[in-house]
Structure 1
Amino acid sequence: MHAEQAPSERYKKMYRRGSTTVFASRHDPRFAYCLYVPEGLDEDPGAYTLLVAVHGTGRTMSAYRDAFAEFAEYHRCVVLVPLFPVGPCGDGEPDGYKYIIEGDIRYDRAMLAIIDEVSQELGIDASRFLMFGYSGGGHFCHRFLYLHPERLLAASIGAPGAVTLLDDKRDWWVGIRDFERVFGHPIDLETMREVTIQLVVGAADIETWEINHQPGSRRWREGINDAGPTRIDRNNALRASLEGHGMQVEQAIVPNVPHDGMKVLPVVKAFFKRVLETRNHSQGAAKESSAKEIGA
């Protein structure tokens, strides 16, 4: 006869494992997150990798969480999806998180605080993690890469409407000329070269109404439209900029796909699978070499 499960264990299983409930960030309750936590995590938390998926303007956080659930089970990942709501400063602004800084908010720091909270709660190593972002999330993802490359194992950057190029002749966020003044430290191109990067966009993602800005508009910056009229053009411009500075870049222009994050996920998952297999192979080879040295 099985002992009745304690209420605390039932609560954990129902709300903190599998597809979890939504949690407010302890660091800044204006922001929240949900998780997918595989049932096997508690047997060996140290074997799990964190996968962060950042939503776009539609804030479809749970859809991305659920879309990565099967991948997480097979590849021993915990999926973390933040929620950066519209208007955290009380002004109805929908796009602040995309550009990292908004009022008193540094969204990269808010993200890292959530990651620290989750890694401590679950006992996983989140010193380096996978990050995917699409559309607005693609904005966030590539700018987070510029700020914290040491934290990323790989970055999959999906169809951002505006890109920050490694251009030292234009100011943030079109370029990086004033990066050190804005963020308090220089950009670390050397560490960025250690991150495996994917750029992904649909081959039919050609609408421009949301991403081309005119002087006087809310998002206007000098040079904002110079990367090209479509998301495909801007994807290509970002690729050229990254590769021109020695980055490892894999580009996927997915046939017959419009601006739809769910439809590019198969190529994103295949990319992350390769990254994890390469990492695991390298770790296995290092352990085998170390064992041989000890036995010598």
Structure 2
Amino acid sequence: MTAAVLVMVAGLAQGAGVQRLRTPEGVRYHAWFPEERPAGLVVSVHGISRNAAEHVRRLAPAAAAAGYAVVAPLLPPGRFRGFQRLRAGAAEAVEDVVADAAARAGRPFPRFVLVGFSGGAQFAHRYAMLRPGRIESLLLGAAGWYTLPDPALPWPLGVAPGTAPAAVDLAGFLRLPVTVVVGADDTRRDVSLNADPAVDRLLGRNRLERARRWVAALRARRRAGGAPVRLRVLPGVGHDFAEAARAGLVDALAEALGVAPRRHVTRITAAASGGG
């Protein structure tokens, strides 16, 4: 850990904690802002556990090392059912959070680093396929399944024209830097996993297989050029956000932000503030 990173982490331990906030549209989110004007923004989307505050606590040290703010929208099931497939206005809700964070930070965030875990990773890569111009880089943790970059398959299996909720910008998506992180032990077919036979046939029967096949499909589409697609398989890790964060997800974010990867041991003390 460099001296600069140590200073940043020490500042986190002494500064303001995680805030509970609400947009004018009523979307709740958790956030951490650096004391100085943020250099950029990390947006992290939870899965069905809806652990938005934990996302901010675990990702903030890496974000702070790059001078970035971090926000995690809270997408409750009653209002945002099917958010993983961009249903129920989930994409607009996340953009409301970005706009509110920009107003609080005193600067616009035309592009941001988008992170997602499990169902949040489903949301993240599908959002990036529709709106790649908003994305600085994409970090996906253990999605249950993926939309393939195949124009012959209908959405959400693929990106056939006219089947998605908005126009897919596949060329723009293929230019984005993408990192996929998944546990080596994330092989259980639990009740939350999509067991559709078509998904099994195209992507495999568990999250590890599906991550590998999706990365291979993305790499095949990018053979003529484009940004890198990285896959990190985490030894000894199952389908657990905290385990994945400790084993490599946070390090992957640090790399995406251009700071030295490290084993993060500092968590920000949660401090409630704002309109929760």
Instruction: Answer whether TM exceeds 0.5 for this pair.
Output: yes
Q: Does residue 1:159 correspond to 2:142, yes or no?
A: yes
**Cα pair distance change 1:70/1:108, threshold 3 Å:** same
Other structure's SS at 2:255 match? helix
User: 1-side partners of 2:164 and 2:182: how far apart?
Assistant: 29
User: 2-side partners of 1:153 and 1:124: how far apart?
Assistant: 16
Equivalent residue runs for 1:120-131 within 5 Å: 120-131=103-114
1:63 to partner: Cα distance: 0.9
For each residue in 1:61-107, what CA deviation from the matched residue of structure 2 results, as whole angstroms up to 9, or x when unmatched?
11111112222332211110000001117xxx5xx111101xxx221
1:181 to partner: Cα distance: 4.5
- In structure 1, the partner of 2:176 is 195
User: 2-side partners of 1:100 and 1:161: how far apart?
Assistant: 15
- In structure 2, the partner of 1:18 is 16
- In structure 1, the partner of 2:216 is 240
Q: Give the total of aligned pairs.
A: 239
**Equivalent residue in structure 2 for 1:99, among 85, 89, 105:** 85
Higher fraction of helix: 1
Other structure's SS at 1:225 match? helix
1:169 to partner: Cα distance: 2.5
Other structure's SS at 2:212 match? helix
User: Share of identical aligned residues, percent?
Assistant: 23
- In structure 1, the partner of 2:199 is 224
**Equivalent residue in structure 1 for 2:78, among 84, 87, 105:** 87
Q: Does residue 1:54 correspond to 2:45, yes or no?
A: yes
State whether residues 48 and 124 of structure 1, in contact with CA within 8 Å, keep that contact through their aligned partners in structure 2.
Answer: no
State whether residues 162 and 211 of structure 1, in contact with CA within 8 Å, keep that contact through their aligned partners in structure 2.
Answer: no
Q: Which has the larger radius of gyration?
A: 1
Structure 1 residues not aligned, in runs of 5+: 1-16, 215-219, 279-296
User: 1-side partners of 2:157 and 2:163: how far apart?
Assistant: 15
Q: Does residue 1:255 correspond to 2:241, yes or no?
A: no
Other structure's SS at 1:87 match? coil
Q: Which amino acid aligns with 1:277?
A: G
For each residue in 1:129-188, what CA deviation from the matched residue of structure 2 results, as whole angstroms up to 9, or x when unmatched?
11111111111111111111111111111111121111222211111114x353342x22
**Cα pair distance change 1:120/1:234, threshold 3 Å:** same
User: 2-side partners of 1:259 and 1:134: how far apart?
Assistant: 10
Q: Does residue 1:209 correspond to 2:209, yes or no?
A: no
Q: With the length of structure 2 as denominator, give the TM-score of the two structures.
A: 0.79
Other structure's SS at 1:235 match? helix
Of structures 1 and 2, the one with the larger relative CO (CA 8 A, separation 6+) is: 2
Other structure's SS at 1:182 match? coil
Q: Which amino acid aligns with 1:36?
A: W
